[in-house]
Chains A and B, each alone.
Chain A
């Protein structure tokens, strides 16, 4: 027993030790040249901190596992047993984010003169896809190492944490802007797909239990909808497995095809987010496709999540619809509490909670977008430098700033007077008025910069530089949201590698047969129709 225990602990000791040794090497600066080459020098501190923390936790876990017998306590089940697997996936996530992705970018940039395009952009080879591919590759070749099996089961849990944290990046103003269209689009497609799948099931003479659970899975939000609807339509476990298999297989194809089609069609981040959020079923796969389309700008992911979340909000309605539909055949109906309240995904409530806290201004001023906001209040961090101030003051005194309208001149005069873009000092008590005055002056200065750039007016380079800096100084970024976004990205990277590890050839084959045909017809129809509707509706309206 103890030999077995020690040998099963060996991978954990090895991985933890490697992490700590790696942290020391990075800290010594020995890898600086490599980091510069890969363009990851900025991540040095994070690499050291993450490897030290993860390595230390791993060593402590391995020591505890070595000196005590494994039991079935909560600590055993949720920490000590999955720890080797968690560390294994973290190692893969680190490898993907710090080495594989920068290397792929580097290689595709070198190949650009030969090919004429960047491979990583065309194939969306970012950390999301690379992580998933690594997961799929490991499972279907070598197999998941036995010591890592429990860790893989944490993937969905960690993905949910990523989705919850995503809520912090939303603010009510944005959702209000998207609200009407997302509800209209999503509602139509959710209900439409459910009824279409039910009709197809009837056409192909499938059992009602199968059709019911499949229609919910294809219409609403994938796996959680399947789990929620299964008791209502009395679906057997193999039917749930078929449905989940169909959803995931369809989602995998979507995940790879959607970003490519989106890019070929020239969709903007908002359009793609709306399409992915409407057309792709599984929330993790929605996130994967959105990140694959645009991993830098989280806007795509946010819009996709808004649409996805809106779709999830239809779950209670669909559960009720299917309960009514199925009730005719079975005669037994579940109560409202059983079908709706008990089955509503709590992690979505977590997302909504963080969204509410974010809208109240806990992480950044309530008007923030992706943690960025404009701050006109008087403070040192908003001011231009003394040299810039002198440049502008001299230019005004010499009357060398010409060709501007009165509003633009007033904005520059006020900037010189107060050393920063702001509202009127005497109006600082009235926040709304103060903000509007500052915003007006900022727009005026931006129009001066644009006019200089377009050579409509002639300005000294130093003056333009000072004006640009004044605008930059009032654009602030919430550190809290930057760190939370980093956490979210790591959670997604971890979850998606784990998700990839769950995609076996067998699970893909499991989706075969008639449910697969019905699912694919319903899925493709929804994806195609939503593609055109999004292109038609979302283009001009959402991007205000």
Chain B
């Protein structure tokens, strides 16, 4: 097993976890994605519409 790479020999649980998300569950991921998207929309609106 190479030090610098992740290969197929890692435990199954870790592989599955790695394949999914940094979030502990999908709901947290969804809510964070929603909040980040709304922040993006707000910033874009601010600079392209309200302050432009």
The chain A residues found within 8 Å of chain B, CB to CB, are 77-78, 82, 142-146, 149-150, 152-154, 156-158, 160-161, 164-165, 168, 224, 227, 237, 241, 345-347, 349-350, 353-354, 357, 362-363, 479-480, 483-484, 487, 502, 504, 506-507
Please determine whether A347 and B18 come into contact, CB atoms closer than 8 angstroms.
no
Please determine whether A480 and B48 come into contact, CB atoms closer than 8 angstroms.
yes
Q: Which of B3, B16, B26, B37 has the most CB of A within 10 A?
A: B37
Query: Contacts A142-B5, A346-B31 known; A161 to B18 CB distance under 8 Å?
Result: no
Write out the residue numbers on chain A whose beta carbons fall within 8 Å of the beta carbon of B7.
143
Please determine whether A346 and B19 come into contact, CB atoms closer than 8 angstroms.
no
The residue in chain B whose Cβ has the minimal distance to the Cβ of A345 is B30
Please determine whether B4 and A146 come into contact, CB atoms closer than 8 angstroms.
yes
Q: How far is the CA of A357 from the CA of B23 in the complex (A)?
A: 28
Chain A's nearest CB lies how many Å from the CB of B29?
A: 5
Q: Of B18, B29, B31, B52, which one neighbours A152 at CB under 8 angstroms?
A: B18
Q: Which of B22, B29, B38, B48 has the most CB of A within 10 A?
A: B22
The chain B residues found within 8 Å of chain A, CB to CB, are 2-8, 15-16, 18-23, 26-27, 29-34, 36-38, 40-41, 44-45, 47-49, 52
Write out the residue numbers on chain A whose beta carbons fall within 8 Å of the beta carbon of B21.
153-154, 156-157
Q: How far is the CA of A484 from the CA of B40 in the complex (A)?
A: 8
Chain A's nearest CB lies how many Å from the CB of B46?
A: 10
Query: Contacts A165-B37, A241-B16 known; A157 to B22 CB distance under 8 Å?
Result: yes
The residue in chain A whose Cβ has the minimal distance to the Cβ of B46 is A480
Q: List 12 A-B contacts (CB under 8 A).
A: A143-B5, A146-B5, A157-B21, A157-B32, A164-B33, A168-B41, A350-B34, A350-B37, A479-B48, A479-B52, A483-B44, A484-B44
> Apart from A143-B7, A157-B32, A346-B30, what are 20 other A-B pairs with CB-CB below 8 Å?
A82-B22, A143-B6, A144-B5, A146-B5, A146-B6, A153-B21, A157-B22, A157-B33, A160-B29, A161-B37, A164-B34, A224-B26, A227-B26, A345-B26, A346-B31, A349-B34, A362-B45, A484-B44, A487-B40, A487-B44
**Dominant secondary structure at the B interface:** helix
Closest 3 A/B residue pairs (Cβ)? A143-B5, A346-B30, A350-B34
Write out the residue numbers on chain B whose beta carbons fall within 8 Å of the beta carbon of A142.
5
Q: How far is the CA of A480 from the CA of B30 in the complex (A)?
A: 24
Q: How far is the CA of A345 from the CA of B29 in the complex (A)?
A: 10
Please determine whether A346 and B22 come into contact, CB atoms closer than 8 angstroms.
no
Write out the residue numbers on chain B whose beta carbons fall within 8 Å of the beta carbon of A357.
41
Q: How far is the CA of A357 from the CA of B21 in the complex (A)?
A: 29
Please determine whether B22 and A165 come into contact, CB atoms closer than 8 angstroms.
no
Write out the residue numbers on chain A whose beta carbons fall within 8 Å of the beta carbon of B6.
143-144, 146, 149
The residue in chain A whose Cβ has the minimal distance to the Cβ of B29 is A157
Query: Contacts A156-B29, A157-B33, A346-B34 known; A507 to B5 CB distance under 8 Å?
Result: no
Query: Contacts A156-B21, A480-B45, A480-B49 known; A161 to B33 CB distance under 8 Å?
Result: yes
Please determine whether A150 and B41 come into contact, CB atoms closer than 8 angstroms.
no
Write out the residue numbers on chain B whose beta carbons fall within 8 Å of the beta carbon of A349.
34
Q: Of A144, A350, A362, which one neighbours B33 at CB under 8 angstroms?
A: A350
The residue in chain B whose Cβ has the minimal distance to the Cβ of A241 is B16
Please determine whether A160 and B49 come into contact, CB atoms closer than 8 angstroms.
no
Write out the residue numbers on chain A whose beta carbons fall within 8 Å of the beta carbon of B22.
77-78, 82, 150, 153-154, 157
Q: How far is the CA of A14 from the CA of B23 in the complex (A)?
A: 27
Write out the residue numbers on chain B whose beta carbons fall within 8 Å of the beta carbon of A143.
2, 5-7
Chain A's nearest CB lies how many Å from the CB of B6?
A: 6
Q: How far is the CA of A354 from the CA of B45 in the complex (A)?
A: 13
Please determine whether A161 and B36 come into contact, CB atoms closer than 8 angstroms.
yes
Q: How far is the CA of A156 from the CA of B33 in the complex (A)?
A: 10
Chain A's nearest CB lies how many Å from the CB of B12?
A: 9
Write out the residue numbers on chain B whose beta carbons fall within 8 Å of the beta carbon of A158.
33
Q: How far is the CA of A142 from the CA of B32 in the complex (A)?
A: 32
Write out the residue numbers on chain B whose beta carbons fall within 8 Å of the beta carbon of A507.
19
Q: How far is the CA of A11 from the CA of B3 in the complex (A)?
A: 15
Please determine whether B18 and A354 come into contact, CB atoms closer than 8 angstroms.
no
Q: How far is the CA of A362 from the CA of B20 in the complex (A)?
A: 34
Write out the residue numbers on chain B whose beta carbons fall within 8 Å of the beta carbon of A362.
45
